[in-house]
Structure formats: structure tokens, C-alpha cells
Structure 1
């Protein structure tokens, strides 16, 4: 109780102390904190009395800090800096416009993250926060402002706009093809390690559906290597562990750089399309069109080596 009484309201004395310590003058300190020179002197004397030791060495028309004064000034400055940082954060949170984009792990890894600067340009003045939600890419919470999903969203409370379909074909690394190729026909895939993502949503297509479009069934003895994430599937493919079913809209950068290749001329275009979705119960505070236009321009155009004439539709 004695300690609490000692420090009660002591904070009211600290601004005068800090100003005097920084300016080495009671007069200038008074001008800063709106007190007379004598009032500043009285407050500091009260502070010294309550601390039981001097904070200033006083000489004719000059003051300087004692070791105790230096210690108190250092602590006060550190605390003031933390308070200023907190105030800046609070002001920034009040003024900033955060846009929460929900999408699948694969869409985030292969579409958005490689082009953060381009995505940012679609939302001028807004802070972009990307959350991932598998399998479809929509997190049905009030915090989501916009979602990028493959397949029409099946969550209530969302409006959506269709974008473009995807094209599926086998992909592998050039080194895997050299060691295990050549692959001249679809049937040759049955001699390869097939990497796949376990289907978690009706919109997702796997090896069985793809092979059936070309008149083949996976033999019962054939056991592909499975993952619960398409990102992990492609990482295994990049490590040369096998052939993955490539969603070419997602993998354009890896194909363009030569890290992955398409060994067969057999393509499958999906009937499902990518969609932009947004909550229907509240008004959007930003324009969706720039992001939609960017997605269509960046990922919805022609794919090198692919022609619609050589494509089945599923």
C-alpha cells in the first residue's frame, strides 16, 4: 500500500521532467508543457522528493542530469516511443481499408503470390490480406470481401461471376522425362508414377476422370501417390518424383520457365470455370472489375502449345 501511495499520480510530473531533461532548461521546459519556470521547478522537486534522490545537478543558470535522472529519462523515452507506436497503429487501423481475399492454397501459391505487386495495383489504397481455404477456396465468414474459387461457389450468401475454364494435361520435369520417357501416348502414363491430389470437392478432377476421357482406366494394381494439397503434389512433381495432372492456368509460370513440361499433346478442358465471389449481404467498398480484368488478362488467355481442336471437354 505504501508503494502505491508513493507513485499515485506521479505520471503527471513526468512530462515536465522529460522536457527539462531534454532541453536542459526549466524555462524552455515550461514553454513546452504550458507551465511557468517556477511551476516546472516545483514539479521536479516534488518528483525528487517522492523518489528520494536528486534528478538534476543545479548550478548557476544551468542544469544537468544525475545518474538517476539519466536512468529515468531513458525509461521514459522508451515508454513514450512504445506509446507513439501504438497510437500510430491505432490511427492506421482506423484509416486503412483492408481487403480480405479468400482462395485455395494452390490459387494463392501459383496465381497470386508470384504477382503480389500486380494484385496490389488492382486495389489502390487498400491493404490486401490473403487467406487460404481448401478445398474450394472460399472461407464463409463475414470477414471475407472477395473469393477466387474454381467451380461455382456452393456457399449460401455469396454472389459470383464466372471467369475462365482450365486445361488439364500431364506435366513432369524435363529430367524425369529423360529418365522415364519418352511418353508417346496416354497409355504410356500407366508405366509412370502418377502423383495426384485427393479430390475434396466435386469440381476437382483427378487421374481417373482424365484417363477415362481417352479410353483408359487405372488398373486396380496401380496405386498413384496421393496428397491432400495440389501445392504439395506439384512440389513432388518438381522434385522429379513422378507425373502430375497439370492445371495449366495455375502452372503457367513453371511451364514458361521450363521447370515443368507437357510431354503429351492430349488436353482436357473443364466445363467448370474459375469464379469471383463476394458476400451478397453487404455493399462492396471497392471495385471488383480491375481484379477481374487482371485475372482474365493474366490467366485467361491462350496457352502455348494448346489448341481447342485437340481438346476433350469434361
Structure 2
């Protein structure tokens, strides 16, 4: 039987390339180079004795045999992932795997994990920071916190946190700018940018934030940072002013590390939702975590 199985790493590389439409995207998902994916696919093609991809000057496309193989593989790999996940979980029911965007992990979730340990010492947390859409079964994820509008078909979803954007700076920076009294005054000061606002349609940027107050902003996008938590570290070090949503700045506002420049806040177009498969809370550890984090978020919104 084993001699009739194709090389499984090559199968995994092919499935990713077929699903994502190319070797480069597959390599990014599998954390290897596009060349490594191409090599694995070539190995699988040699084993099967048939071409699975047609190589084109600008990319690849599945051959008829490749389409047939990919369609048959997907349910098989899904079943393998499901049964493997079920067996793995029998080994340790205490582990809860949660994923969220890096800035929410760093700025909101991490400061609260101490309270989770106090209330639920039986839970072993596994926290993943990621931006990509979640495949719960394939990635072994129990709970995801994602920013969006919904709905989320096939998932159980609860509102967790809302976005309210404020202009913030360090206390030291504010002390050096006594004439900074209105949003229009900000145009004379260094404004820090999140690159994430360029990746999320309709997210609040400086231009959209100023527009709420009838101000036209035509400035550039520098300095900029790849994640909100990096932008806010620069702000805390006195490098300028940033706009950030309430979940990311709440702890620093309470501690005095950051200060809000104005009372005006701008609502964001999205909300953070708690997502999981409908059967996830059959595990007591997952249910306890979900109940805990919803209570934390409710207290934050309140």
C-alpha cells in the first residue's frame, strides 16, 4: 500500500499551487521558495508520469489531468486534516489555539492573558499572529479574531470589539506642542502612517480621518509602518502623531503611555468578530476561552 502512495510533501505542494493558482503563492503559504514548490510538483509529475501544470511565460495553469487530480485531492486532504486534528486533540484537550492580526495580539490580547491564566489555569494558550483568512481545520485553529463586516457563512460569529479612531501622541510630545488644539493644527506636525490602511479597503486613513472634520489632507504616507503596534511604539517614543482604533490604544491610554489629543473620535467601517466552527465549543477549554474573551470585550466596550 505504501509503495502506491505518491510523495506526500510533493502532494502538499501541488495542492497549494493548484488551489492558489501558482508556485509563488503556494511557496508563501508553505514558507518555502517558489522554486522549491516547482521542484516538488515536478517530482510528483515524474511519479505520476503525467504533466499537472502547463508552464507558461507568465505563470502556470492546470492541465486537464491536473484539474482532475486537484479536485480529487481536496476532499482527501480535508478528511486527513480532520481526523488528524481529532486524534491530536485527544492528546491534549487543554490547548486552545487562537489567531488574530498581529497588532490586536500585541496591543489587546497579550495584556489580558494574565487574567485568563488566573481564571482558567486549566487552559494552555497557543497564540498565532496572522493576517490571512483562516482555514480552521487545515491550520488547527480553534478560534479566530478577525476584522470585517460579516456575515461569516458556516461559522459561529460574535461581535467582539468596535473601531473608534483617535489621534494620539506621547505625553512628552504633547508638552512640546501647546498650540496643538484642533485637528487642523495637526497639519503642521509629523503624522505617522499604518501601511495596513492601504491593504484594507475603506479603512480609516489620515485623509479619511481629516475629512470627517472638513479638512483636506494631501500629505504623503511617510513615515509608515507595516503594523499598527509598530506605529504606536514610534508614537510612544515621541516621533509624532498617529490615528489608531480604540482596541489598540486602550491599555496605553489607561497607563498614560499615550494621550488622546482630542475628544473627537471617528468610527471605523469594520468590527472585530470572534469566529469559530459551530462544533468548536463542544470542547470545554474552547468554550471557557470564548466566554472569557467575550466578557473582556464587553467590559472594554462598556
Q: TM-score, normalised by structure 1?
A: 0.59
1:106-137 deviations in whole A, cap 9, x for unaligned? 111111111212233565522110001127xx
Q: Distance in 2 between matches of 1:130 and 1:153?
A: 23
Q: Closer, same or farther in 2 for the Cα pair 1:265/1:294, shift >3 Å? A: closer
Q: Closer, same or farther in 2 for the Cα pair 1:103/1:248, shift >3 Å? A: same
Q: Distance in 2 between matches of 1:180 and 1:171?
A: 13
Contact conserved, 1:150 with 1:275, CA < 8 A, in 2?
A: yes
Using the TM superposition, give the Cα deviation of residue 216 of structure 1 relative to its aligned residue in structure 2, in angstroms.
1.5
Using the TM superposition, give the Cα deviation of residue 181 of structure 1 relative to its aligned residue in structure 2, in angstroms.
3.8
> Quick check: 1:179 aligned with 2:176?
yes
Q: Closer, same or farther in 2 for the Cα pair 1:114/1:262, shift >3 Å? A: same
Q: Closer, same or farther in 2 for the Cα pair 1:172/1:156, shift >3 Å? A: same
Contact conserved, 1:112 with 1:119, CA < 8 A, in 2?
A: no
Unaligned 5+ residue runs, structure 2? 1-88
Q: Closer, same or farther in 2 for the Cα pair 1:94/1:155, shift >3 Å? A: same
Contact conserved, 2:193 with 2:221, CA < 8 A, in 1?
A: no
Contact conserved, 1:160 with 1:278, CA < 8 A, in 2?
A: yes
Q: Which residue of 2 aligns with 1:273?
A: 271
Q: How does 1:132-281 map to 2 (within 5 A)?
A: 132-134=129-131, 139-142=134-137, 143-152=140-149, 157-198=154-195, 199=197, 200-202=199-201, 204-220=203-219, 222-280=220-278
Q: Greater share of helix residues, 1 or 2? A: 2
Between 1 and 2, higher relative CO (CA 8 Å, sep ≥ 6) is seen in 2
Higher Cα radius of gyration: 1
Q: Distance in 2 between matches of 1:167 and 1:234?
A: 15
Q: Distance in 2 between matches of 1:153 and 1:229?
A: 23
Q: How does 1:63-74 map to 2 (within 5 A)?
A: none
Q: Distance in 2 between matches of 1:191 and 1:255?
A: 24
Q: Which residue of 2 aligns with 1:101?
A: 98
Q: Closer, same or farther in 2 for the Cα pair 1:187/1:264, shift >3 Å? A: same
SS at match of 1:264: coil
Q: Closer, same or farther in 2 for the Cα pair 1:140/1:196, shift >3 Å? A: farther
Q: Closer, same or farther in 2 for the Cα pair 1:284/1:212, shift >3 Å? A: farther
Contact conserved, 1:122 with 1:291, CA < 8 A, in 2?
A: no
SS at match of 2:260: coil
Q: How does 1:5-154 map to 2 (within 5 A)?
A: 94-120=91-117, 123=120, 125-134=122-131, 139-142=134-137, 143-152=140-149
Q: TM-score, normalised by structure 2?
A: 0.61
Structural RMSD (CA) = 2.7
